[in-house]
Amino acid sequence: MLKLDGLTKTYAGQRGVNSISFEIAPGEVVGFVGPNGAGKTTTLRMIAGTLEPDQGTVQLMGHDVWSNRQTAQAVMGYLPEHAPLYDDMTPRSYLDFLLSARGVARKQRPDLLTQAAKRTQIEDMLDRRIEGLSKGYRRRVALAGALAHDPPVLILDEPRDGLDPNQKRVTQALIRELSPGRIILISTHQLDEVANLCSRLILIAEGQVRADQSPADFAAQDPEGRIEDVFYRLTAGPSPTASNPDEAQT
């Protein structure tokens, strides 16, 4: 179980994330959506233990992320925003580095590495320098890094950003394959991804949860079932419109 309770983060006097609370059970794939600057990445960083909240708690599989950080981080795979990588390494050495830092035994590492490479389809690039990889491959190497140790919890910040349509399809299939028994939280701007992949959608805007329901129920708020229009209505302005966002602003 992933449980956020009253999570709050303030930047320069402004509340970036304002008392966010929700729970995610194993087997759920949750799409975490919201406009730019809504607080998605800040929330994910607080869950991943890389940013300390001002208030509130994050419990991961019974471990408090901030009082028992290392135990919580050991069961988590995290893909940070922009998928940062070490350019001087190869995907093989990068994945091996992450696995060894996580304390995975030397004998187990090659199997886990091969499995992660196969799942993310980077086998043919394993021994090339990361510096020379395309954006799509870089994103997949970073994703491989998040799931290489086979964690029960995956926190993914924009996992399909920069991928071509074929790669997006592969990644979507991979997340679906990984979902049974796992907690998967995906931050994304792609509402179609949420509708197709996620069992639940959490929408935040201005640091607060505005919706927490299934994508189907979310879309049903619009007479024509347009998920984008509901998103717009809940995030962009007070006067809603069914089909034309531009009209709502005038």
Partner 1 sequence: MTAFWTGFCALYRRELRQDAVSPLAYMFVASFISASVLLAFQVGGLFEAGRAELVAFFQFHPWLFVVLMPALSMRAWSDEARTGTLETLLALPVPTSALVLAKFMAAWTLACLMLVLTTPLWLGLSLLGPVDHGATLTAYLGSCLLAGAYLSIGMAASAVSRSQVLSFVIALGVSFLATAAGLPLVSSTLAAFLPLPLTEALASLSMLDAFAGFERGVIEARGLSYFLAVIALGLCLTGLWVDTKRGGQA
Instruction: List residues near partner 1 by CB under 8 A.
Output: 9, 11, 45, 48-52, 69-74, 76, 78, 80-82, 84-89, 93, 97-98, 100-103, 145
Smaller CB separation from partner 1, 13 or 101: 101
Element containing residue 232 per DSSP (H, E): helix 227-235
HSE-up of residue 79 (Cα within 13 Å, Cβ side)? 26
Q: Could you give the CA distance from residue 22 to residue 2 in angstroms, rounded to a whole number? A: 8
Q: What angle, rounded to 10 degrees, do the helices at 91-101 and 109-120 form? A: 130
Nearer to partner 1, 78 or 231 (CB): 78
Enumerate residues 6+ apart whose C-beta is below 8 A from 13. none
Q: What are phi and psi of 236, to 5 degrees?
A: -95, -30
The least CB distance from residue 24 to partner 1, in Å, is: 18
| Residue 189 beta carbon to partner 1: minimum distance, rounded to whole angstroms | 19
Q: Are 136 and 167 in contact (CB under 8 A)?
A: yes
Give the span between the Cα atoms of 220 and 225, in whole angstroms. 5
Residue closer to partner 1 (CB basis): 77 or 215: 77
**Cβ pair 211, 203 in contact under 8 A:** yes
Nearer to partner 1, 34 or 49 (CB): 49
Considering the complex, state which of residue 103 and residue 238 has its C-beta at the smaller distance from partner 1.
103
* Closer by beta carbon to partner 1, 80 or else 215: 80
Nearest distance, CB of residue 250 and partner 1, angstroms: 38
Least separation in angstroms between residue 35's CB and partner 1 is: 20
User: Least distance (Å) from partner 1 to the CB of residue 62?
Assistant: 15
The b/e string for 5-27 (b: 16+ C-beta within 10 A; e otherwise) is: eebbbeeeeeebbbebebebeee
Smallest distance, Å, CB 178 to partner 1? 18
